[in-house]
A and B are shown apart, each in its own frame.
Chain A
């Protein structure tokens, strides 16, 4: 009964951001769209994020970052995901990520970047349209 399969999403906050209002808004919106959303709170390390993605067997990871540390943290996260064999997982990011960095981030394998002002509807639509098929 494949129609009971739910999309599992990890919403993670790498780095030292001091608030998670945005991440929680996105997490709740994805929940309201019928997904099972794992939210792990503030100050996550790349190791914690990658290991959580593995244990929770998620389909999607959403990285939320406001501190500007994405250039340091995102490569480490993408590397760890690859090391753990999680190459099928779709990763997107949001928060404060300047447009000029978006290209670099996408080259790391992050599929899409959602800047401030993105509607939750757009994110939901994106996840539904791009969630990878299960092996």
Chain B
């Protein structure tokens, strides 16, 4: 067996070292990453993948730690992927989400991985989706994904998670009224954490008001829960809601089918786009006109979009 085959067997057997090495390959080596995902794909789809998003300071990591403990109490195994931002200037990252979860490190039923987003947009790393798949294939019952936490544009999570939880807290200076589109539309469960603070009720009411403005008829009406992550208050109720949403997704076969289809289509389209773009770009670079047009752009004789059209129409004409 070569290295990749060993790692694949290890992942499917739930071996932690193999899981760790597989995730590293997903992040860094596209060729072997593809082999691993292709091999484990048939074994995915069993885990409940839950996304946790929300502004910094809301208490995501602390809450996730308590949620993990509750799932463990119920006898479930858990994977966690915690994403933090990469510096656009240095390319490095300080991954500190684990600080709040470290007591769980030695629990054999829990696997925690920190990931840098490497400047990928939308609150997650490009590799997060496949890392969740690896934890799924390795047999974890639940996979929790924690987004970077910068705010409103973090909608990438819906491509990865089946259930999305939006965590907010009173007094973050981030007025709920400002969160209109995006997160408010996609979250399945809303949590007001630090509920012992003043204005927790107001925060919950503000969320309620905005939800009522969304006139869409929804089969699942997102609940608003209050928690105090530090003490664990409200966490059993949150986990109950998570399980309820899971049953809802399983029961609602029409929507589930539609969701799975939409997800599969978007993944297929992404994969096609990536491969065609790279292959066409490489061809165009070799075929001579590329540099010529680049020079014209620099001399302001042509704009980049028109240059792209020229290159592509010439290429397509050749066929």
A binding-site residues for B, Cβ under 8 Å: 1-2, 4-6, 8, 27-28, 30-41, 44-45, 47-48, 51-52, 54-57, 84-85, 135
Contact = CB atoms under 8 A, between A and B. Distances in A.
Contacts of B111: 55
B116 A32 contact: no
B173 to A, nearest CB: 25
Interface in B1-54: 3, 16-17, 19-21, 23-24, 28-30
A40 B61 CA distance: 13
- Per DSSP, are chain A's interface residues mostly helix, strand or loop, or mixed? mixed
Interface in B93-148: 93-96, 98-99, 102-103, 105-106, 111-114, 116, 118
B75 interface: no
Nearest to B107: A51
Contacts of A56: 20, 113-114
A52 B93 CA distance: 17
Contact of B116 (A5, A33, A36, A45): A36
Given A6-B91, A51-B106, A84 B99 contact: no
A57 B105 contact: no
Interface of B: 3, 16-17, 19-21, 23-24, 28-30, 86-87, 90-96, 98-99, 102-103, 105-106, 111-114, 116, 118
17 contacts: A1-B30, A4-B118, A5-B28, A6-B116, A30-B92, A34-B91, A34-B92, A36-B116, A37-B93, A47-B105, A47-B106, A48-B103, A51-B105, A51-B106, A55-B16, A55-B20, A57-B24
A133 B24 CA distance: 14
Nearest to B31: A1
A62 B140 CA distance: 30
Nearest to A28: B94
Nearest to B112: A55
B127 to A, nearest CB: 11
A124 B3 CA distance: 30
A52 B28 contact: no
Nearest to B21: A57
Contacts of A47: 105-106
Contacts of A8: 24
Contacts of B90: 31-34
